[in-house]
Structure 1
Amino acid sequence: MRATIADGKVTASAVVAAPPAEVFALLANPHRHNEFDGSGSVQSTLSGPDRLALGDTFGVRMKIGLPYRITNHVVEFEDDRRIAWCHWARAIWRYELEPVPEGTRVTETFDYGVSRFPKGIEKLKFPIANAKSIRDTLGRLQEIFGAPTGG
């Protein structure tokens, strides 16, 4: 799978062999985010509901070099179709689900063009690192749910 970087967004898609509701249940449970995180930075969830909804917040223990904590806010939500969150820098992590005959097409996007610091994000080469993390996350989702034959 290939990630694209354009217009302030890093995006990639993969098909998993599960219905959207099953995939969404995993994505909407912040206590399970470390199971599919391909970046290796999500350590554990400190706070938040078992199932996210629009406007919810959840705290996460992270590690990129040094350990830290971050609070995310759910900014987009359409049951079984789309969920997205951001933290204080306002870059958005978005998952969109589309039913396909083989299961679900999952599209993950890191939307840094809407952040407070898009130029800084580019200068620090986060889009390149996030392209790899997104590919790895989608690969983990395929490991969890299975990949369609030939997909």
Structure 2
Amino acid sequence: MSTDKYVVTATGHVSAPPAAVHALLTDPQRHPELDGSGTVVEVSQSSAPLRVGSEFDMRMRRGFPYETRNTVVELEPDRVVAWTTRPLTRPLRWLIGGRVWRWELAPEAGGTRVTATWDLRPEKNRALVRPMAGDPGADLATTIGRIDDLLADRA
């Protein structure tokens, strides 16, 4: 796991092929199951199948409830998926938004190497968001473990 002030990355092995991992990551309805931070409560709206420009909304909770709109900014089948996140409500959207969640997948012996990145560099207000984030490195590592657990039967 690597971490700096504004970019946090975790890498782990999932015992399933990249296509299965990609299918899980690109199904927003499954995100509450795999979220290692415990903040994703429900996906309230999504478009399927995801493609660049697709949006999905999530009900979240980290100390208080809030909603986000996520926009897919990068998608390469079985290799990469990334989305930006911003608050759904307008007053908060003026203050924060823009961080990127990026998932890179690479085939390796017995499954997939998964690299998850939380990138705050494009965030409107990094100084506000970073302290509220808890331990994103640990959360990303937990998420990779959950992906492995959810896909255990696909190895």
TM-score (norm 1): 0.87
Give the RMSD, CA atoms, in angstroms.
Answer: 1.7
Which of 111, 121, 125 matches 2:119? 111
Name 1:30's counterpart in structure 2.
28
Amino acid at match of 1:5: T
- Say how many residue pairs are matched: 143
8 Å contact 1:25–1:51 — kept in the other structure? no
Amino acid at match of 2:100: I
Among all aligned residue pairs of Structure 1 and Structure 2, give the percentage whose two residues are the same amino acid: 37
* Structure 2 Cα separation of the partners of residues 51 and 27 of structure 1: 11
**Structure 1, unpaired ranges of 5+:** 147-151
Name 2:90's counterpart in structure 1.
none
**Structure 2, unpaired ranges of 5+:** 87-96
TM-score (norm 2): 0.85
* Structure 2 Cα separation of the partners of residues 18 and 138 of structure 1: 12
Name 1:67's counterpart in structure 2.
65
8 Å contact 1:7–1:113 — kept in the other structure? no
How far residue 118 of structure 1 moved from its aligned partner, in angstroms, is 2.4
Name 2:139's counterpart in structure 1.
133
Counterparts of 1:1-151 in structure 2, within 5 Å, are: 3-6=1-4, 8-88=6-86, 89-122=97-130, 124=131, 126=133, 129-146=135-152
